[in-house]
């Protein structure tokens, strides 16, 4: 075991090298409190406060031999965290001298981050794909004229409940294809995708376009913020209870998610392959992420998988994936939500795979005893 202090220049070099062939994996944990961490600036590293390190470290940094950097508020919390991790068996621990204050002392312009912020990534997709848009005034006019228009809000149910465009349907980003036919049965309907601002609307709209749905699709310019700027009132309250996805909608979603998978050559891997990766867990990190809703995860999930609903995973990848250069395996019930999420994670530079026929089988990502075979790690938990 070793604990070393590194300076800003070293971490900067490691971050710039991330993703290059032959470069070791790099995990970065921001051990500041949640209040200090805020939205993740300036590194967008995984936040695990010192008080939670012992309980949470193995979920987010499963490989104990990975090169690991701790970042604090310049208050010595990283040194305390390093001692905790050393006791847990982590063997290559580094502490950023001076923490975040030292990282930002000369400004952050041009400095790399551990992750691409979701708004930056989405903005680049809009620029590259020229995603169509409509503003609030034009959308309101179409509705007043009685045109066939459906608004799909891709935020979380909690955000949707707080406020949304009147009459909008809530379908978090990972579900936009999965529930599409149930929400939009007519291929002639104009589909407008909304969020609070732009990022998730861009990704949602472009998902439908890239998946080749027949409908005309556009994003709502500036989402609910643009709606209120146009002096239009938002609606409040939870969405009505969503019924199970129909067979027709599930089939539609699977077919169109297949378009995404074919376009991006997303690898679908067998259970035996994942077993081998897990058995080789001290060589490379493998994350198992369940991209369904949290309610579905709580009802039953693969042992050792982490709940990470796909839409949020794309927006705030750094909240889950602490190790740059890791392998990511996505899990759902029929592949649609996993493929939809994988499509965009791959665009973000992650080595991402979809587990074929994952549920109700099971994979356990935590290290088991040396005598336990990989096949014994498959079990369903709730």
Q: Classify strands 301-302 and 351-355 as parallel, antiparallel or unpaired.
A: unpaired
| Interatomic CA distance for residues 317 and 122, integer angstroms | 13
CB 356 within 8 A of CB 275: no
What single-letter DSSP state applies at residue 130?
T
Q: Enter the tokens of residue 138.
A: 């034009």
Residue found under tokens 């994350």: 287
Letter string b/e over residues 32-59, b meaning 16 or more CB atoms within 10 A of that residue's CB: beeebbeebeebbbbbbbbeebeebbbb
In tens digits, the chain (382 residues) has pLDDT values of 568 999 999 999 999 987 666 778 999 999 999 999 998 999 999 999 999 999 999 999 999 999 999 999 999 999 999 999 999 999 999 999 999 999 999 888 889 999 988 899 999 999 999 999 999 999 999 999 999 999 999 999 999 999 999 999 999 999 999 999 999 999 999 999 999 999 999 999 999 999 999 999 999 999 999 999 999 999 998 776 778 899 999 999 999 999 999 999 999 999 889 888 888 777 899 999 999 999 999 999 988 889 999 999 998 999 999 999 999 999 999 899 999 999 999 999 999 999 987 554 333 333 333 323 333 334 566 6
Strands 323-324 and 26-30, how do they pair? Answer: antiparallel
Domains and CATH numbers, the chain: 2-112 (3.40.250.10), 119-251 (3.40.250.10), 265-381 (3.40.250.10)
Residue matched to tokens 């944990």: 29
Instruction: Cis check for the bond before 256: say yes or no (omega within 30 of 0).
Output: no
Q: Please measure the distance between the N-terminal and C-terminal CA atoms of the chain and give it in whole angstroms.
A: 36
Return the number of other C-beta atoms located less than 10 Å from residue 370's C-beta: 5
pLDDT of the residue at 382: 62
Task: Identify the burial level of 279 via C-beta atoms within 10 angstroms of its C-beta, where 0-12 means exposed, 13-18 middle and 19 or more buried.
Answer: middle
Listed in sequence order, the residues at least 6 apart from 225 whose beta carbon sits closer than 8 Å to its beta carbon are 196, 197
CA atoms of 88 and 72, how far apart (whole Å)? 19
- What is residue 107's predicted lDDT score, i.e. its pLDDT? 87
CA 4/CA 324 separation, integer angstroms: 20
């Amino acid at each position: 075991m070793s604990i070393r202090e590194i300076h800003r220049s070293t971490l900067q070099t490691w971050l710039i090298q991330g993703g290059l062939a032959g470069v070791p994996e790099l995990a970065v944990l921001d051990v500041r409190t949640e209040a200090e961490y805020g939205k993740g600036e300036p590194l967008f590293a995984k936040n695990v406060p010192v008080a939670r390190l012992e309980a949470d470290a193995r979920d987010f940094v499963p490989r104990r031999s990975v090169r690991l950097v701790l970042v604090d508020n310049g208050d010595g919390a990283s040194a305390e965290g390093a001692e905790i991790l050393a006791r847990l068996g982590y063997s290559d621990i580094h502490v950023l001298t001076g923490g975040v204050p030292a990282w930002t002392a000369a400004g952050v312009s041009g400095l790399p981050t551990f992750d691409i912020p979701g708004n930056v990534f989405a903005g680049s997709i809009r620029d590259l794909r020229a995603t169509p848009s409509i503003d609030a005034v034009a959308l309101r006019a179409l509705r007043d004229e009685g045109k066939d228009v459906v608004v799909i809000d891709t935020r979380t149910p909690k955000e949707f409940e707080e406020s949304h465009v009147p009459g909008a349907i809530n379908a978090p980003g990972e579900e936009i294809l999965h529930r599409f036919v149930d929400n939009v049965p007519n291929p002639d309907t104009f589909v407008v995708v909304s969020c609070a601002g732009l990022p998730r609307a861009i990704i949602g709209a472009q998902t439908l376009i890239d998946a080749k749905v027949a409908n005309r699709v556009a994003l709502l310019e500036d989402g609910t913020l643009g709606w209120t700027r146009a002096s239009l009132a938002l609606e409040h309250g939870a969405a009505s209870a969503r019924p199970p996805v129909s067979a027709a909608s599930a089939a539609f979603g699977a077919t169109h998610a297949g378009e995404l998978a074919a376009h991006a050559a997303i690898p679908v891997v067998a259970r035996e392959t994942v077993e081998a990766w897990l058995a080789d867990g001290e060589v490379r990190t493998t994350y198992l992420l369940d991209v369904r809703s949290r309610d579905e995860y709580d009802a039953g999930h693969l042992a050792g998988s982490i709940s990470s609903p796909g839409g949020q995973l794309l927006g705030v990848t750094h909240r889950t994936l602490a190790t740059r250069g890791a392998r990511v395996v996505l899990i759902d019930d029929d592949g649609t939500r996993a493929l939809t999420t994988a499509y965009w994670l791959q665009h973000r530079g992650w080595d991402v795979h979809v587990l074929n026929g994952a549920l109700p089988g099971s994979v356990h990502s935590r290290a088991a005893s040396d005598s336990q075979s990989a096949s014994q790690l498959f079990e369903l938990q709730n």
